[in-house]
Structure 1
């Protein structure tokens, strides 16, 4: 892609998200979401592969549907209340209807069906943008309006997303689909706590972005998109394989890695809110997700690829890819747990 076109598209992505962050008017927020969608569409289809074009079409139709619903809900709310302010979502019908398109935009269950299929058709860098940056603007709107949305609806969306994200990833062999179901599960953890402690949602979002970036950049570095090819990574890059296993365990929320921090804090807050059954359910769904992360670790570290007895170890050639972002995100994924008190102080 032409560098000037790429710069325009990436700056448009930043503009759309910033516009949604800074807006207090429904139409400006909707405009930011639309700029986001239109900016990422050419990035998704840039390889002209049939799977990429199919994924782009699915994504565009899904996002266009969600944007139309947001426009309809905001107009309905303005008609009933006389206000276009985002924080004035006092109508219960409008607040319930408003959560549906935003759940569709970030891939919450049961509106998650587009996420694995779209992510499977993209290259890893575009998939990284879709899994991280594209979640920011809708989540900002949810955080602003969470106090006006029915708590039961948010709880149902959170629990169902963690369940679907756990069960859906069990039978997958494509790594991008596994990361898509991982995204669905992590979004469920953020939504379940957003009504009680929005600062924990921000902590979980930040940790999710760090861990997912490390996972996507690792797969890009090793040119791996399927479980069957994970077995060859040990002979090519032992150190990268070791850190990748730890990154996957951090995504699963295993202590003492960084991913344990948001899950621990969210379960603690749910217990404080007298929701022990919900907290127990969330903890059990985290175990389901941890299983398929352990499955990936098993494929990477305890198996070898089928080969003949006279085959040689693959050459460990020097890569030309930039490894500094991968090193930064991997270090943060593995070692931020001791910083939990400082992070809590910054968000409160």
Structure 2
């Protein structure tokens, strides 16, 4: 367990009703959960469900509407009292039991197991101040064999990007050049991630790179302690390489056999969410042209003193020395030749992506 001071600070932050208003009004988030539950109505009917970190209880109510016979809505913060009021307001107090407790301390009657666990546990870039550990612990403690997790998997993506909203205005600020201000801002922002909206047109990588994929039905806590990748990607457009953009998606199970899984995507090509995107701002920008190789290494490692946070380290690599993926989208001659050969001989395509840092440690995140 984490130190009590950290744990208390974390849960007290969720007693701010403004936090819950922000999440409730995030339509892509709320509708994704509602659709994932209602699309699987036939599965939820008559089932026992646990909602980990239930907040205001809205997900528990969706499960009750889908026909679940019992929902244990677990909430460690004092917002559990509000959840009870909302459950009663919607006349589901006979179905939903709000438990004001850390999920790690919960004991269910007769040690019964649940058919499904639902939780909205995600933080910025998926893992920041998230409660994934608690969800996995709840799974191991309460979920039946072959029970279901909502969501069932999560993926973090990376792509090189521009961030003109941070710097472009300083090129001509009331008729003056203020690039020195932009340079100082860039230097100051290199020390922590920037939470901001990145426009689709500002993504300059030719493909999105997967940093990690998490299987919520099988992965254990130690497997999400660290992730690492070394990658080279070709620029898909002329532009200014100013940072690395991180986002995530989660996928919910489809238990109807229609292969129509609900996916909640927080990326720049989808509808905005309260998570926005996370940008690792580079200390210096770089002008790139279509096909230029962009090489980087990223390590994400759980902080030793606060398990709810991760330290992110980034190194810009020499494209001539870094190992390129197969195929590679950059314009180096060797990559063009390899890609042409692989296009001609798809049956011989190998699967290889190498992984192998330095700018950034995660402090309190700026989410303005």
Fold match by TM threshold 0.5: no
Q: TM-score range by the shorter chain?
A: under 0.3
More strand by share: 2
Structure with higher Rg: it is 2
More helix by share: 1
Structure with higher RCO (Cα < 8 A, 6+ apart): 2
TM-score normalised by L of structure 2: 0.27
